[in-house]
A and B are shown apart, each in its own frame.
Chain A
Amino acid sequence: MAESHLKIAIRRIKKDSLAIAGFCVICAFAFIALLDVVPVPYRDAGGLHFNRTALDYLARKPVELSYSPPLARTGVLNRKEFALHSLHLLGTNILGEDVLYDALKGVRTAFIIGIVPLVIAAFFAIVLGLLAGYYGGWVDDVIQYIYQVLSSIPGILLLIAMLTVMERGIWQLCIALGVTSWVGLCRLIRGETLKVRSMEYVEAARALGASDARLLFRQILPNVMYLVVIEMTLDFSGLVMSEAVLTYIGVGVEPGTGSWGRMILSADRELPNGIWWNLTGASVLLFLLVLAFNLFADALRDALDPRLRKG
């Protein structure tokens, strides 16, 4: 009864209705993020412009003068009411921009911050972890030294330092986050490689004359991948949440990019004045995405757990 691990994992996940709900929510968010990637060009007096995305096309509302509560008819500026041009489901912020639109623009940023750093980190972690675990000796010592030094430096400081050097920007942030977070995964992969290296099927393959590279990629890597998958899905929420925190500290994405962190940051000034919708819009979307990922990632981790592979 040797079912492939993937099939077993999928079957187990299907039983967990919360995980499925989470997965659906993730898909919904991913769809919104995609909408924000597809360009819908428009033409005006200046020529053909490509900086409008499908999301912009669908969800952007006309800009008002200033704040207005959700579903209101009028807003307030300098204690004077002004009429609104259109209906805003979540109200408008200080610049009169639709809060729902602002929040939806943050989805793409969230996905980028959640995925790209992990891909970068996974690259370093896999290469260095495999090499360290497989070759041992001085290679292992050098790699261990590197990640000992890196992990002794507080992540936040490394981040700040790197971001001070590079300009602010979402891709710079991704690189910085990726470079500062590969150590944990590398340790895990190294450990697992050590375990797998001495397993019988690897010995057998080696006895049959397989080269090192072949062993690494064909035999060891697939058995180590589940760690990578688990870690990536677990870290997604952490990264998305840290974007908010980093923006508050001042090292987040550049202004002009959608950012839930920026919206939460503005709550400082707004809450005392009774303006709650900016904070709520961003927080609710952030919460839903993170919760969905947490539920799905948990189920995925349980499904891929080798100890539960009783077949």
Chain B
Amino acid sequence: MEEVLRIEDLRTYFYTDEGIARAVDGVSLSIRKKGTLGLVGESGCGKSITALSVLRLVPSPPGRIVAGKIILAEREILSVSENGMREMRGRLASMVFQEPMTSLNPVFTVGTQVEEAVRIHTDTDRTEARKIALEYLTKVGIPAARERMAEYPHQLSGGMKQRVMIAMALCLKPALLIADEPTTALDVTIQAGILRLMKDMQEETEAAILLITHDLGVIAEMADEVAVMYAGKIVEKGQCTTIFAEFLHPYTEGLFKSLPGRAHKGEKLYTIPGNVPSALQFLPDCCRFNPRCPLAIERCRIEEPPLVHVGGGHWCACWVRAPERGLE
């Protein structure tokens, strides 16, 4: 099949002392084989939770996937048993996290941790697993990989640790790689290297990538398609080139306008007025962006705009910019 991942109307809620936080509230997206989808939004919009939901790693006492369908490589994720899910994690889909400092186990060597991924899912013995680990550690650009395999995470730099994470995630050639803000915690100078690495590895392993970030620059470099999230919902999605050139949604517009590069010297930097609402405060039956939207009309306050197909795979949810025309 062409599609590696298909999410339909996913809803993941958190049941807390202070109320129900609707972190992901009706998200639908899809990624084709070898494609890269960028999921963009500010912190708190639900993009990380969407990613965790795909692997069913949402912390389960407060969180729960309440509704929706997730189809990964033709398997219905939400109806699989926990054991079955465990077999898929790391093999069919794997994940790279934001904080390389704390994401690796400090008391095991780097080589052991990569080997572990191999040995869980395949029937190889230690020597064979070690060979594969060495192979991938070399591929991700760790110099003197054989020696460094015996080192502990704290002996490696942030960039190196992230390369190890990528090796760990890709050594079983999964169909989907989920990268949650992979470069946010790294120095700017290292970021480019990591992104390039991910692109190269994608070429080699033919994996699809779901890239979570708040950085439009990263999207521009890596993604073919992009989806913009706000307050638990997708407000705009489409091809990267289209969105970058012809963004429609006022929030997307705000994001682009806030990029420092666009301001001229001496001009005040643009910021979207207001604050991102907390997931506990999401209002139903309205456009969630309307309190901060310069274009808001009466309808925005009383009815939620659906995602409307504006043409060429470009979708937008806005009463003003994309009034109902061709719904799916």
Contact = CB atoms under 8 A, between A and B. Distances in A.
For the residues of A in contact with B, the DSSP-based class is helix
B17 interface: yes
Interface string B220-264: 000000000000000000000000000000000000000000000
- Which size class do B's interface residues fall under? under 10
B278 A15 contact: no
B278 A11 contact: no
Nearest to B17: A15
B274 to A, nearest CB: 15
A12 interface: yes
Nearest to B16: A310
- Which size class do A's interface residues fall under? under 10
For the residues of B in contact with A, the DSSP-based class is loop
A12 B278 contact: no
Interface string B269-284: 0000000001000000
A6 interface: no
Contacts of A149: none
Interface in A100-130: none
B24 to A, nearest CB: 18
A2 to B, nearest CB: 12
Interface string A12-23: 100100000000
Contacts of A11: 17
A213 interface: no
A12 B16 CA distance: 11
B278 A1 contact: yes
A238 B278 CA distance: 42
A88 B230 CA distance: 71
Contacts of A15: 17
A1 B278 CA distance: 9
A133 to B, nearest CB: 26
Interface in B2-21: 17
Nearest to A3: B18
Interface in B191-243: none
Contacts of B278: 1
Nearest to B281: A1
A3 to B, nearest CB: 10
Interface string B296-307: 000000000000
Contacts of B17: 11-12, 15
Interface in A12-69: 12, 15
Nearest to A11: B17
B294 to A, nearest CB: 25
Contacts of A12: 17
Nearest to A14: B17
A142 B278 CA distance: 49
A224 B17 CA distance: 26
Contacts of A1: 278
B14 to A, nearest CB: 11
A11 B278 CA distance: 20
A152 to B, nearest CB: 31
A11 B17 CA distance: 9
B15 to A, nearest CB: 13
A1 B17 CA distance: 15
A1 B16 CA distance: 15
Interface in B176-203: none
Nearest to A15: B17
B243 to A, nearest CB: 33
Interface string A245-286: 000000000000000000000000000000000000000000
A1 B276 CA distance: 13
Interface string A284-302: 0000000000000000000
Interface of B: 17, 278
Interface of A: 1, 11-12, 15
4 contacts: A1-B278, A11-B17, A12-B17, A15-B17
Nearest 4 A/B pairs, CB to CB: A15-B17, A1-B278, A12-B17, A11-B17
